[in-house]
Amino acid sequence: MRAGFQTICRQLSTQSAERGKKWAGYSAMKYLIESKPSVIGLGSGSTIVYAIEYLKMHQTEFAKNVICIPTSFQTRHLILESRLNLGSLDRYPSINVTIDGADEVDERLNAIKGGGACLFQERLVAQASRKFIIVADERKKSKQLGTKWTKGVPVEVIPMALNTVQWQLKRIFPTSLIKLRMATPTDKAGPVVTDNGNLILDCHFGPISDPGALYKEIKCLSGVLDVGLFCNMAERAFFGDNDRENAGEMITLF
């Protein structure tokens, strides 16, 4: 009986989160289209699906012509499936604007990313972009990173460096839990493998007082490909309201 009640609560919370994600994805894409960019970056995850859906639904001249740069296998597939123009960083090293999801976002629009193991390509595309926009449902808004997203900061590590990087991290952060991310056993045995053939260490630091400094400290370890802390990159964010249909908030930094 109790388990049934919990299942219903979980379903309701998922449904309301989808409402928030949809508003964020649709609104950000609508906003992006207004500036008529020629090359756009598309992030990964479940919220970005709504942004791509909006573009697909509006089969305008813009949708026919805009070049879309993916940040993952997932997004590449979505772009092709939606019959949009797939581009690459090789051909388009400069991007007008990128929309991407996030796992937690603070008031300065610093974000934890990589909950879906897609951080490295996301950063490549974000750093090639003149504007970077975050889309998320309101649960992701936070006063301090590390307080809402409790699964840890994702760190992408090259497989041959796994043990030594894990050891280094434990030495630098002795009180933090550092865990190799494992796949769901029904989907794959063993660890999660990223689109780049690497592994993910989820690092539980608790509340993060200086995300920029933490990013630099971890990123400089050899064997670390990327760290899921995106600081001073986003200039705008769309947070969808989970309780009300077609509602949300846009935050602009500069």
Ligand X SMILES: O=C[C@H](O)[C@H](O)[C@H](O)COP(=O)(O)O
Active site residues: 122
Q: State yes or no: residue 196 binds ligand X (CB under 6 A).
A: no
**CB-based contacts of 225, cutoff 8 Å, min separation 6:** 120, 156, 157, 158, 196, 198
41 versus 101: smaller Cβ distance to ligand X: 101
Q: Which is nearer to ligand X, 118 or 214 (CB)?
A: 118
Going along 158-247, which residue ranges are E strands? 177-180, 199-204, 224-227, 229-230, 236-240
Of the candidate spans 41-49, 86-94, 207-215, 236-244, the one that interacts with ligand X by CB under 6 A turns out to be 41-49
Residue 135 C-beta: closest distance to ligand X, Å: 7
Query: How many Cβ atoms are within 10 Å of 117's Cβ, its own excluded?
Result: 21
Contacts (CB under 6 A) with ligand X, residues 100-159: 100-103, 113-119, 122
- Burial call 153-192: b when 16+ CB within 10 Å, e when fewer: bbbbbeeebbeebbebbeeebeeeebeebeeeeeeeeebb
Residue 45 touches ligand X, criterion: CB under 6 A:
yes
Q: Does the footprint of ligand X cover residue 74 (CB under 6 A)?
A: no
Taking the least distance from each CB to ligand X, the nearer of 62 and 116 is 116
Piece of 26-34, 75-83, 96-104, 176-184 that binds ligand X (CB under 6 A): 96-104
By rule CB under 6 A, what string of x and - marks binding of each residue 47-66 to ligand X?
x-------------------
Q: HEC states along 73-113?
A: HHHHHHHHHCCCEECCCCCCCCEEEEEEECCEECCCCCEEC
Nearer to ligand X by Cβ, of 97 and 117: the residue is 117
Decide: is 75 part of the binding site for ligand X (CB under 6 A): no
The window from 7-15, 81-89, 98-106, 171-179 that contacts ligand X (CB under 6 A) reads: 98-106
d(CA 227, CA 91) in angstroms, rounded, equals 26
46 part of the interface to ligand X, by CB under 6 A: yes
CB of 116 to ligand X, least distance (A): 3
| Cα-based angle 123, 126, 130 (whole degrees, multiple of 5) | 155
Rounded to a whole number of angstroms, the minimum distance from the CB of residue 25 to ligand X is: 9
Beta bridge partners of residue 69, listed in sequence order: 41
Q: Which residues bind ligand X (CB under 6 A)?
A: 43-47, 100-103, 113-119, 122
